[in-house]
Structure formats: structure tokens, C-alpha cells
Structure 1
């Protein structure tokens, strides 16, 4: 059907003139009804256009559309692709954890793009001003809804959609690769039969022939990579010789580069004609690439593609592969989920990959099917060929996957282990986590609410419709078990059948913590002498890092950083600890850098949550210590200079510059002039900005009033001391100590605070008074002022 006939106002929003057969069959459900829609169709059959039709209908009605992308990298892809909507006068705004949220832009956006994790976080905070925009969604498009079956991310997607439907009841359009039980997803989303579509292989633009090829598994993992590479080239070679193209998926960014290098040599050995070294124009075009290795490789007809390449390099590689100038392309799995870049032959060389947080893990069945689905170029190939390279032990499993597909299951109530639970572990990990979140939000206030909530989940549908029927009483018992566990561990309070969150439960939900991590962090609040090493160790041993593994080539670097500290920790925890410890000094060893960024980003979230927990249940001094550690892990600044990072616009470089010039606190910077900061090494415009920003932070002055210089022994006096900020204000705890013993403490928002101070002439010759100001939410070191009173005989 012509786009101009169906959506005349949005013709320019589509990169083609006619909807294909699959797309056309969905149009009446998308455009002529308000019902929820579920579309299951083979990879590369054109599901993105179905999403775009739903968006157009929403925009035409003056509504807001939310597109849930399966990967963060794909949110950026959609932002670029959907400049077409911007050209028509609509605004597209991407909300991810790696960008600072602009609530005003989000609120005004016509199309929002998020990952399920970010949408989960946003819907948990829907009653805040920053995230109130999520309650104004009119249509939610779920891209790759079969991710419900993902062990790591499925439950997040599931509860986010259930929560969003309760918050604002948007129309839901769910898109999926081929799945056997599409009717279960339709039942969950209340999509009627006429709006539920399951398109079979006959709708695939190019028929697919998929199979398994084996290699001889050896003892050396490095050598195994090359064995699998040679097997992948065996399968790709016939198609390349016939002027076809091959796409080979490997485990990591580094593997794409190394495999491309080795393949170039092997292709020469096999005398396979390819490459464009005689093409002067292409040689000139290749000079645009910023990656030197890639520039040399593409001239031999071999390319590589991964998320770490510059955007311009990725765009050129994609363009040249489509044009046939690159005949063999090595890529990570991200390409399979995002860019529509099919090839005649697709080979999955690696069925396992290294996850910085989980170690060596099997590729999910969903990833495998997604990658294989890229085989076959519409308009060019009569058939696509796809292969999985695996050892003999895995042949049966992959053949069953290729022939039967993957039934989608809920991961919400996956058990953590046997029925006899280890003390401290939730009886049903994700169920406990998400039930706690719903209680913290106030949507679940008693056992009946909990059951009502459960009935909105995909888990409930599968429990009722799956191969093993789960009775209502069993579901209620499971929910009751989980509530009791949450009560026992202090996340929830129960009065009869009513439940409400504790402060710990709320903080756990707010910071997206594993329950065991939150419980452990709460125990640290009881410590009065918390140390830097204990804080870092608590984070390194958190459940979020349970699966981190240390490779043999990293052991020396870990040892160099830690020495004989924390030797009782397992190797994975020691590795995390070493990364955090070295990050604080800005000296992360080269051997640890490949995983350092991911580990550090997760650690910063954990440190922020630990700070909030000890601030709530412990002391301001503990919270300030964690705050300074957090800032140092983020910036690599020394403890002496870390307070400078509280100034907006001051990171590691500027903090180092200012510290070297003798500025050790925001107050010292605020007292300086822009020319003085320029003389210290900052540019003129930056110096003015930094002085202004520093003035927003507190600068402490203590007025001792009529405090005596001496007091007769045995006499008592009561005086007042005033503590004020002469610049900005912040939450602070002010403590008065005499001879090391705490007398008075006051938590306040400085401002100004006046404290009564007793002066008692006791048996000692001197009274040493100390005023200590601690900022639990700023990385500024505690500020002390002292006064000595002599005791006269």
C-alpha cells in the first residue's frame, strides 16, 4: 500500500514509498482502532515501520509516543533516524542514564526514546517533577518484546509495562521476532485477536537456511578462537567467491579487530579475490576513517563494527557494506539488534562472551536468533545462509533452537536456587525486588493489592496458561512468602494484612539495589569508625558484582594495586576493589581498563546509595566519607582536593590545577578573583564561571560570641556559638565537642545555626572546644574551628 495513501501527512517520515505485505496487514489494527497491538514477525521483515505507523497515529492525534529500545546504543540510533520527525516539526528526545535529563525537553517531547531500565527508574519516580512526564504517555511501543525472556532484563521490562499501564494506561504496540506463544503476550497486554499478528517464515523477505557447524574444542581458549574463525571462514568463503557478503558475529570489540586482522591474512592464503586496493576513489574515501586499523582493513574488503568506533567510522562501514565494497564484516551483537545490515551469509563465531559484571556467559537464545535473522539481503539474494559455530556438546541444543524457536517465559519469579533458601537470599529474587518497589511506590498496600498487581504481569499469564498450571492459592502463598521475607529483613512493615515501606525499602527501590546489597549497606550505618577500605570493600562485594571474574592476565595488576590488603576476598571482588582503589588516584592499570568503565559506573550508583543509607541510619560523618570516596572514584582526585569537585564545572583536571595553586576548598575559590584563578591556570571565561559556582557552596564562619578565655574551677557558664555560611547554603550537621567528648549536635540547613555551649570548670587545666561542620551530601572535608578555655584554680 502506498504511504501517501495511508498517511499523507507523514509521507516524508518513511524512507520508502510503499508498505510491504506484512506492514499492510497491520495497518487497519494500527490506524482504525485504539486497541493494543502485538506483531510477531521474522527479523528484517520491516517491524520498525510498524512502530513508526503507531507513532504517526499518536502524533496526528496530538499525543506523546514512548519507544522502548532494547539497548542503550539503539536509543542513539533512533534519535538520528527519527530526525525525519524533527523535519516535520515534531520533537524527539532520548532519555538515558548516560545523559543529564532535561525535564522541560522531556515534558515537551512528542516522541520519547528510552531503555526498559530507564523507563523503570522513571516510572518509580513519576511523582517527582523531573519524571512527571512519564504519566503523559499516550502510546508505548515495545521494540523486541521477546526480551521478556531475558534472564537479566526480562523482569524489568515486564514490571515497567505493568506499572506504566496503571499510571496512564497508554496504548501498547508490542513488536517481536518470531515466537511460538505470541498469544500469551497478547493476553498479557489485552490485545484482541484481530490486533494480534503472527507472521511466519513465509513473510521473511529472503528464505533462511540455518544450521550448526562444529569445531574441535581444545585446552587453549585463545587457540579455540582461531579454530572457530577458520570454521567461520569455511562457511563464508563460497558466498564471498560468488560476490556475496558475510557477516561474522564475535564476542567483543577487541575480537572484531583481531578477527579482521587474522582473516585478511587467511583470505590471502586461500587466494580469495576481494578488496578494492585498485579503486582509487575508494582508497581516497577510506582516508576519512579515523581508525588506522580499520582504514587498512577495508581496502582488503574486510571491515569491523562495534560500539566503540567513532560514529562517522560506523556510518561509513555500514554504507560500504551495503554497497558491497566490504565483503566480510566482523561485528558484536549490537549490530544485530539495531542497524538493518543483512548479508547473504551470517556466522556466529562465539556463543559465549565476557561480561564485566558476570564473567564468561552463554549468549542468550534471543541474541542467537536475532543475529541469524540477519542472513539474506532483500532484493539481492534468493536465500540467506546462517551458521552457529559450536563444539560437539552444544550441537543438539542449537539445532533445537533453530528448528523450534524460543518460547517466551516470564523471569519475574525465577527462583534463586533450591526450595531451601540460603539465609539472606530472597525466596524469589526478582519478585521480591519488584514487589518491594511497588510497595515503596504505594501501589501495593496489602496482600490483595499484591495479588492485583501480580495479575497485571506476564508472569501471571504464563502461570495460568503455561504447561504447568499454577493455582491461585499457590500464587498467593508465594506472594505471602515474599512479603514475610521483606518484613523480616526490614524492607517492609506489616500491620495485619496491610503493608507499607520502611525507609530502607524506599531507598532500595530509589537506587535500584539488590536486596542483599541494601541489607549489607544498612549494617554499615551501625559503625562509628567506618574506614575508606571498608566502604570500598562493601561495594566490591555487593551482589551486583557477584559474577565479576578476574582473568589470569589481570592478577598481577590487582596485586600491584592492593598488595596484601583484602586477601580474604575472592578474585572477582579483589578485581573490583583494585579498580575502585586505583580509580580514586586516577591510576587504573592498563590490564584492568577494559572492564573498568562498566564497573566504575555501577560502583558510583552503589556508592550514592550507600551514602544515602548511612546518612539516613548512621551519621553525617559516615555519609561525608562515602561522598568523598564517591567523588574520588568518579574523578581520580586526591583527598586533599576532592572538595573542589563540589564546584559545578570542576572535574579532575581543573581540581588538580586549583589544588596545585593552593586552593583546597570551594570557600577558598569563592574568595578568589577571576584574574587570580586565571593566573593559576584557568582561562578567563572559565575562571569567572568557577568563581560564581563556588559562591553557591557554603563557606563557614564561626562566631564565638562572648565566649570566655578562662573560667574558675567549679564554676559553670552557658554561652552561645553561631555557625553560618557566608556564601551558599547546604544541609549540614554541626557538632560541639569539648576535650574530644561530644556535647551538642544539630542537623540543619546552613544558613545559620546557633548552639548552646556549656563551659564547666572541672578538674582539667584546659577545655578544648571544637566546632565541627560536616556536609553529608557534599564531598567537602569536615570543617573544624577550635577555642581553648583555661580553667583557673
Structure 2
């Protein structure tokens, strides 16, 4: 395969599409394309199908660093260093991060994406993924408009190679489809069924025993088995049960008599894993420490481990074949999407791991499924599956992004854009494609994201903000509506987040219902009008405010909380743009509480760099509960509150960068005569750092004026009317819509006499 494909990689700059079986050497093709780009002084971008694999490639490609090139991973979980990304020779990204970055290509922070010379798409059949596929599709289309890089698209399971090549304008000389005869080890794949029961927990063990029946003969012949299960927790539970079951069946596995291996296993940080590997059974998932994963992979490669249970991560890029592969679980629980069927292309990807080059003459692979699914999986194994476009499912969202970017300015431009997508290649009929696009544009206009004047299209503020914040349009529409409603409280804002479309597929298990009710309580304000999934999200958010998430909710809490933080940030931006500073500030403070899990009184402390939940609690316990108190505190008092000397000094220095409001009341008279009218201008300034602020003035509780400005310094007009009252209480409040700082309020009384 490599001999046939490498000339097209190295001797041409044409786009290239290659489908070849797992373990046939596609990584070398990717690296050759990257090396060709680097040798010409260019920048390569590698799109990895999942975040875990970006870290894998970072370790693997240290050898590029040894040659004097820099490799930079850019993902949502890492803080971006734009200067490093700009200097990088190889960028490693997920499609989602590349989509977000290319949307912001005209910013100084993400301008590096316009300098990419080659994009390597690892596992291009991700195009067929329900929600991620459309993201990959529009990202590649956008890359091609921004900088027209060379595209190298690779896949292990791609039936319609010619259509993908057509989409990417890859010439016939750079389009390759290698069949199973190019597998280094032939594959025998089949389907095994089990009898489905009423208890999902018991069903897992029925499938496990079926999997072990398939694995056992190979273990007795010194072969190895890789078993894919649904979740991290399932890898651990299945490994524990398998140790007992193999011992009962008297299958000769394990290395308990090997003193050296006992010593090596002590290096594992996971206690359960340490005990398990001694019996020849390991587990692997993204939640393990990197060192533990590396050791497990090393031991499986060298044959020390006989059985390895894993989540899908190992199917995507980690070169860890086994004589036999079994997919025990074809349905997965996703924290955001509930129970989902495994993608057919994921199934083929996993089964392709069967067969160890140089060790096995044949690889064996099975899918274990319910009898009702048997025919579908047999057809998949016999016929494969073409890659479909998923763009139609999210067309409005992606059209909105392109219009907001200014890459589409007219309906005719929208037709040109859709013509550059894989969707147009798969749809075939131009009339259907045009009708789909026109309907999507009409929907954007109807909901206020786009304005249309004849053929011309222009994004609205709502549309631009939705694109910038990476929101689904229904969520953006709801956030815009909340911005104009009457003063939503914290629970109202949390409900808006919990009912966002991004969470529309979250499901609640029956075992979680008690924990949800314990957090939310009962009654009209407990979210009982929401569906079970939204109540679960609301409960996790509510519990996160105090940092005490019930154990029953913890398995999905991290993913839900991270998405809730992103949505809360977006909601604050909508409230800032379309609502009031007070509402935006409420959302900012709520976002900070979600992240840190501390009380509302102390949350303003987290606006200071270097103060998280632990330090904020220490300071609040010492009655330094506000950022203003922190500004005036001595370093000695911060040390007395429990901060180390170095931290106390840094925190004190950082606190001085926060705004410190000074209102000059000297121009306000102490008294005014009945019937008199006076207008005074009062100076307001920040004697600390600057900040965007909303300033509101009231007289006896009635608003006189409100304004937004950058402080700095400004003046506010005070109108005094000596009417039929004994006194006028003037209150000035300064609110920070973009920071989790408490509102500053000061008042003075003018006597009427």
C-alpha cells in the first residue's frame, strides 16, 4: 500500500484520498505528507478524530521536535498560546476546535489557521458521524476558502472513495482504495447474539460471558483478546469479572509468579488496575493516568497481558492489535446524548484491530448484539457502508456561521458555498440542494439571525454572536429572549442553560432520580415541569454552585458541567449585548460559582488571577470576602488567612489590577429648597484597573439615568428637584457586566428644606 501511495504523496502537491485497512500503514502516509510540507518550509495541520488522540500524536511526534520542528496541540481543554501556535510547524487539532478557530481567523488570536499549507484528515469517515460529521465537512470547506491547503484524507473504512475524492478535487492518480487483501493479517468477522432480558445490568454480563466464550479458545493458544465496552466504568467492572471467570474456567493467563512483573506493576497509580494486570487482564480508558495507559499498552504489545478491556479510544489511532477483537456493547451512554447506537463506521474501525502482524495468520472479530440487530450487523460486515454527509441536519447553524463571517453575502453565494460541500456531492440533484438551502435561509431570516434584501444577505447582531459563541440557533434565540425579560434570578438562568438545545439528548437513569430530587427538592420551583434530562442538568448545575455533587450524578457531571460553563458564558454575553449590565453580571457571577463551587458572597474573589475555590474559602473565612477587601488587605493578613508568602504577594499585586471605584460626592449639595431644581455632574473613576461598567443613578428608588462605559473615568448627571418630600436619597450603583465582581453601591441624602 505504501509503495503504491507514496509517489502521489511525495512527487505531487495534489489533494489525496486514501482508504486502506487498519494496520496497513496509513500513519506513514500522513507523516510523509507532513514531512513534505515541512521540508518546503510550510505548516501542516493534523485533524485527529478525538481529543485523546491529539495527546497521543503529541507524544508520538516528539521525533519532529528532535529534527528542529515544533508540534503544537490546539484543543478546547488547553489554554491557547497564540504565539506558539503561530510559530508551530505542525498543528494538531480536533475538527471542533478547527471549526471554532477558522470562524475566528480574522482575530489576532487565531490568525495562524490562515497559514496552513497541508491539512491531514485522520479517519475522514468521521464525516458520517451524527453531529461531528457536519463540523468536519464545513471546516474543510472553510480551510479551502481561507488558504487553499493541500488536503490528505485517510480512512480505514470508506466505501465511496470516489465521491470523497470528487468533493476534494483529488485526481485519479491521487485516489486510492485498497481492499482487505492489503490487510497485513486476513480477517474473519462475524456476529454473535445473546438473549435480551429485562435488566440492563444483567444483560451486560450475558454479553460478557458470550464475549469470553469467543475469547477463550484463543487465550488457550497463547493469543490475545481486545474487548470493547461502552464506558470507562464498564472496562473496570468487566476486567474484575473476567479475572474470576477465567480462573473458574482454568484458563492459563496471568503473571503472578513473575517477580519482575510484580515489581513493574507497582508503578501503576490505579490500585484496581495493579491487581488486575497480575492476572493477565487489563483495562484502558481516557480517564487513566497517562503513565498507566502507557504501561498497559506496552504490556499488551509485548504479550504480558492476555485480555484488554477498552473504550473506543483504542480503535482510533492507537496501534494495538489483538488476535481476536470482540465488541461487547453496541450501545453507548453519552452524557449529552443519552443512549446512542455505535456508529457503523466505528464498528468497522474496532473490528479492524483484529490480527497481529508478524504473529497471527488470521484475525478474528465479532460483534455481540441482540437478536433483533443480528441481520443489520451481518449486512454491515458483508457489504460495508458508504459515507454520508450530515450537513443537512445542522445546515442553518453552519449557514449562519458563514454569513456571520462574511464568506456568504448573498443567496447566490450560498449556492456556491453549498456546491463546495460533500453534501452537494452526495445529494446529486441540484434542485433539491437549492430548495434545502433556501429553506434554511428563510428560517434564519424568520428567527432574526439574518436580514435579507433581495439576493443580499447580512448577519444580525444575534447571528454574529451565535456564531462567535458556537451556539445552536434555538439556544441563541432563547438567550436573546431572556435578555429582554424581567430581571431573571439565578434559578431562571440555570433553567435556561438546562433546557438549552445542546442538552436536548441528555437522559436520566432511574438510579439518579433520588439524587436529582434531593438537590432540587419538590414544588413549583423545583423544575418538575421539565423533562428528566433537563432536570438532571439543572440538578448538576445547582449542586455545582456549592461544590457538592451527589455521588449518583458524578459519572456524567464533569461533561455536563463543562458544557454548562460554556453556555453560561454565552448567556452572559447575550445579556450584555441585548439586556442590562445587571443581568449580565448576574450570569457572570453564576458562571464563576458553577466553576468554583463557592458562595455568592465570596465569588468575586475569583476575579483575581491565582484565586480559585480553595483560596477564596480561606480568605472568606478570615473575613476577606470581597475583592475590595482584598485590595485593602495587607500581605501579612493574607498570610494569616492561610496563603503562603509568595502566593499572598502575587494575589495582592493582582488584586490591584481590579477596578476600584471612587465617586466624588463633593459636587452634591447637602440640601435643596422646596421647588428648586439643580443639575450637578459627579465624577466617577476607577483608581485601580479599568473595566467595562454599567452605571445607574436612582433618586428615592426611581431610575434617573443609566449608562454603560469603560472606566477609566466619567461623569454622571444628577438632577435634583425639591418636590413634596423631606429628603432625596441619591444612589449610584456600578455594575460589571463582564466580570464576576459584586456591584458597588453608594448613596447620599439631600435634605429638602
If the length of structure 2 is used for normalisation, what is the TM-score?
A: 0.99
**In structure 2, which of residues 84, 100, 114 is the aligned counterpart of residue 121 of structure 1?**
100
Is 1:442 the counterpart of 2:406 in the alignment?
Answer: yes
Q: How far is the alpha carbon of 1:152 from its aligned partner?
A: 1.7
- Contact 2:230–2:330 (CA<8 Å) still a contact in 1? yes
Is 1:460 the counterpart of 2:424 in the alignment?
Answer: yes
Alignment deviations for residues 481-524 of structure 1 (CA, whole Å, 9 cap, x no partner): 11111001000011111011000001111111111111111110
Separation (CA, whole Å) in 1 of partners of 2:433 and 2:367: 39
Of 189-198 and 717-726, deviating more is 717-726
Is 1:486 the counterpart of 2:444 in the alignment?
Answer: yes
Residue of structure 2 equivalent to 1:640: 601
User: Aligned with 1:585: secondary structure?
Assistant: coil
**In structure 2, which of residues 540, 549, 552 is the aligned counterpart of residue 579 of structure 1?**
540
- Contact 1:735–1:771 (CA<8 Å) still a contact in 2? yes
Residue of structure 2 equivalent to 1:261: 240
Residue of structure 1 equivalent to 2:484: 526
Is 1:100 the counterpart of 2:79 in the alignment?
Answer: yes
Residue of structure 1 equivalent to 2:38: 59
Residue of structure 1 equivalent to 2:325: 346
Is 1:556 the counterpart of 2:517 in the alignment?
Answer: no
- Contact 2:674–2:752 (CA<8 Å) still a contact in 1? yes
Q: How far is the alpha carbon of 1:657 from its aligned partner?
A: 1.2
User: Aligned with 1:790: secondary structure?
Assistant: strand
Q: How far is the alpha carbon of 1:675 from its aligned partner?
A: 2.3
User: Aligned with 1:413: secondary structure?
Assistant: helix
Separation (CA, whole Å) in 2 of partners of 1:706 and 1:315: 70
- Contact 2:157–2:345 (CA<8 Å) still a contact in 1? no
Q: How far is the alpha carbon of 1:527 from its aligned partner?
A: 1.4
Is 1:392 the counterpart of 2:371 in the alignment?
Answer: yes
Q: How far is the alpha carbon of 1:188 from its aligned partner?
A: 0.5
Separation (CA, whole Å) in 2 of partners of 1:561 and 1:720: 49
Q: Which runs of 5+ in 1 are unaligned?
A: 1-21, 415-429, 465-469
Residue of structure 1 equivalent to 2:650: 689
User: Aligned with 2:392: secondary structure?
Assistant: coil
RMSD across aligned positions (CA):
0.8
Mapping 1:730-749, distance limit 5 Å: 730-749=691-710
Mapping 1:180-579, distance limit 5 Å: 180-414=159-393, 430-464=394-428, 470=429, 472-564=430-522, 565-579=526-540
Separation (CA, whole Å) in 1 of partners of 2:505 and 2:435: 31
Is 1:70 the counterpart of 2:49 in the alignment?
Answer: yes
**In structure 2, which of residues 671, 681, 685 is the aligned counterpart of residue 710 of structure 1?**
671
Separation (CA, whole Å) in 1 of partners of 2:313 and 2:433: 37
Q: How far is the alpha carbon of 1:665 from its aligned partner?
A: 2.3
Q: How far is the alpha carbon of 1:702 from its aligned partner?
A: 0.8
Separation (CA, whole Å) in 2 of partners of 1:84 and 1:675: 49
Alignment deviations for residues 44-74 of structure 1 (CA, whole Å, 9 cap, x no partner): 1111110000010000000000000000000
User: Aligned with 1:225: secondary structure?
Assistant: helix
- Contact 2:103–2:401 (CA<8 Å) still a contact in 1? yes
- Contact 2:44–2:118 (CA<8 Å) still a contact in 1? yes
Is 1:786 the counterpart of 2:747 in the alignment?
Answer: yes
Q: How far is the alpha carbon of 1:705 from its aligned partner?
A: 2.2
Is 1:41 the counterpart of 2:41 in the alignment?
Answer: no
Residue of structure 2 equivalent to 1:760: 721
Q: How far is the alpha carbon of 1:701 from its aligned partner?
A: 1.1
Separation (CA, whole Å) in 1 of partners of 2:378 and 2:699: 76
Q: Which runs of 5+ in 2 are unaligned?
A: none
Separation (CA, whole Å) in 2 of partners of 1:346 and 1:732: 60
Q: How far is the alpha carbon of 1:197 from its aligned partner?
A: 0.5
User: Aligned with 1:462: secondary structure?
Assistant: helix
Q: How far is the alpha carbon of 1:669 from its aligned partner?
A: 1.5
**Total equivalences in the alignment:** 750
If the length of structure 1 is used for normalisation, what is the TM-score?
A: 0.94
Separation (CA, whole Å) in 2 of partners of 1:549 and 1:148: 25
Separation (CA, whole Å) in 2 of partners of 1:216 and 1:203: 36
